[in-house]
Amino acid sequence: EPEVTQTPSHQVTQMGQEVILRCVPISNHLYFYWYRQILGQKVEFLVSFYNNEISEKSEIFDDQFSVERPDGSNFTLKIRSTKLEDSAMYFCASSVPGQGSSYEQYFGPGTRLTVT
Amino acid sequence: DQQVKQNSPSLSVQEGRISILNCDYTNSMFDYFLWYKKYPAEGPTFLISISSIKDKNEDGRFTVFLNKSAKHLSLHIVPSQPGDSAVYFCAAILASTDKLIFGTGTRLQVFP
């Protein structure tokens, strides 16, 4: 069964450093997403991406964040200058809107980002 | 942002019995509701969804009920199995947006 994959599974970085989190969405999916979950809190939407551009972003997704689909398979989230409060589990998801009209999104296993 | 709430942080059920997980929401404009299951160190896994124009959807052991007047939905698992032990998230979405809005989750433990 096709699945969303994410690398690395765990990333440790120092405050102020840039990190890139990588995702390979399900191959025939058209919409791509990033969510994050700070320990003990809700899963929160960050950004959605369709047709090579951001379609929606949350207040969390400020100028320090960017997304890119550099080729036909990868989808990346970049944090330019990490802060302690960026420490969280980051989930990539993908979907095929309209298929079954159920809006289901399929999530990867996540990348645990630890900023020290 | 408290648009989707799961007021029970945990639930313990005996194997073979029914598990009922509850979710409340405040935005009457939500178009779809979804349930996800999450094991430790894994991403959320889609379980079942329901359109706002329906009041019930069933898939095997899983049934979701929607009560729009009460802004409440529930997930029933019958019969519960030890492998169902996980955190269950309720989520909602507006068709005009891309984002799922999640509840805080309920940890279900099914014991033998």
* Extents of the domains making up chain B: 4-111
Q: Is A7 exposed, middle or buried (0-12, 13-18, 19+ CB in 10 A)?
A: middle
A5-115 in CATH: which number?
A: 2.60.40.10
pLDDT of residue B40: 87
pLDDT of residue A102: 61
Q: Where are the beta strands (DSSP E) in chain B?
A: 4-5, 10-14, 19-25, 32-38, 45-51, 56-59, 62-67, 72-77, 86-93, 101-102, 106-111
User: Does A107 sit within 8 Å of B43, measured CB to CB?
Assistant: yes
pLDDT of residue B91: 97
Range with the poorest average pLDDT among A31-40, A95-104, B45-54: A95-104
Residue with tokens 């969280």: A88
Q: For the segment A43-100, what is each residue's pLDDT rounded down to a tens digit?
A: 999 999 998 999 999 999 999 999 999 887 899 999 999 999 999 999 999 998 655 4
The stretch B73-77 carries a mean pLDDT of: 98
Spatial neighbors of B49 by CB under 8 A, at least 6 apart, are: A102, A103, A104, B32, B33, B34, B35, B57, B64
Option in A31, A91, A104 nearest B34 (CB)? A104
Summary mean pLDDT of chain B: 95
> Nearest chain A Cα to B32, which residue?
A102
Tokens standing for residue B10: 């945990």
Q: Which fold has domain B4-111?
A: Immunoglobulin-like (2.60.40)
Give the residue from B96, B99, B101, B107 with the most A CB atoms within 10 Å of its CB, the best one to mutate: B99
User: Does B43 sit within 8 Å of A110, measured CB to CB?
Assistant: yes
Q: For the segment B83-100, what is each residue's pLDDT rounded down to a tens digit?
A: 999 999 999 999 888 899
pLDDT of residue B95: 82
* Extents of the domains making up chain A: 5-115
Residue with tokens 């052991």: B61
pLDDT of residue A23: 97
